[in-house]
Amino acid sequence: MLVGFGSYLPERIVTNDELSERLETSDEWIRGRTGIRQRHIVGDGETAVSMASRAAQRALDFAGIDPLEVDAVIVATSTPDQVFPATAVRVLHDLGIPNGFGFDVAAACSGFIYALSSADAFIRAGNAKCVVVIGSEVYSRILDWSDRGTAVLFGDGAGAVVIRASDDPGERGILATHLHADGATGDILYIDGAIGLPEQSGHLRMNGREVFRHAVGKLTSAVDEALQSAGLSYNDVSWLVPHQANIRIIEGVARKLQLPMERVVVTVDRHANTSAASIPLALDEAVRDGRIKQGDLVLMEALGGGLTWGSALVRL
């Protein structure tokens, strides 16, 4: 069951108006195409590890769980501070977890769904009883700030959940997860760089039109299979918590699912696209402000570079 929720956003906020001072763009242009009006950007000393650790600690505090009870930490990130050690291993140390294991998941914006599915599998297999799942991203460090097509879209932040095994879960907990990938579409959203390739920039590159073309159909298919596998319908969904990439994609999926926007958690306007952090950030906000309550059926979905995509169906 999901028993803890936490998040962390850097203090520095960059508005569309601020970006328009250095890019050929405007607040009207950005909001009209994406729904974004601001994003959070890391300051000095803030890293993927530091943000992940703060979000995780807040999730543990929410759940009332001591770090000594945690068996594993899984971090979804495409922007780690180091190639290795894994971000998750650094977080284990920060949280004071002496006997757990940890690893990172790199599935771009779908990373949190992939990590959540992995945690669920460990618990169902009896290999863990308490797992912290985190999405933490520092996209500001891989953006080409001269490219208005990508620079305006992303932000930094971290979100976390605590998943705990239950002897009597009943209808609560993770009901279904479904994961997909298609390497043939990898060139429409990627980072131009890797270890051993110094001639490349290391910046994010995206064919926005092609990503949008794939997004709504693939995401709708993923949530359909989640509901069908659980024997549920659109009417059973209390809340859709989607990856926060673009308001047009979010609205398109909601229409396909026949869900009013009043039942969709939207944070893209304030957070922009925080990749693997976007779903847990939105989930934490909606739980803490009382919108999402115990017993609600929550549907999550994401699509990212790879292309990777997936869905998760959770009864809180």
Query: Could you confirm whether 93 is annotated as catalytic?
Result: no
Relative to beta strand 297-304, strand 189-192 is unpaired
Q: Which of 40, 178, 243, 271 is catalytic?
A: 243
Strands (E), the chain: 2-8, 13-15, 38-40, 72-76, 101-105, 130-138, 156-164, 173-181, 189-192, 203-206, 239-242, 297-304, 308-315
> Rounded CA gap, 128 and 267, in Å?
32
The C-alpha atoms of residue 138 and residue 82 are separated, in whole angstroms, by 12
> Do residues 163 and 3 lie in contact, with contact meaning Cβ atoms separated by under 8 Å?
yes
Active site residue 273: yes
Structure tokens, 87: 């971000």
Residue 198 burial by Cβ neighbours in a 10 Å radius (0-12, 13-18, 19+): exposed
| Alpha-helix runs per DSSP H in 152-303 | 208-229, 247-256, 268-271, 278-288
Tally Cβ neighbours within 10 Å of residue 40. 23
Q: Are 216 and 252 in contact (CB under 8 A)?
A: yes
Active site residue 109: yes
Query: What phi and psi, each to the nearest 5 degrees, are found at residue 42?
Result: -60, 150
Which residue among the candidates 109, 130, 178, 271 is catalytic per the annotation? 109
Phi, psi for residue 172 in degrees, rounded to 5: -90, 160
Positions marked active-site = 109, 243, 273
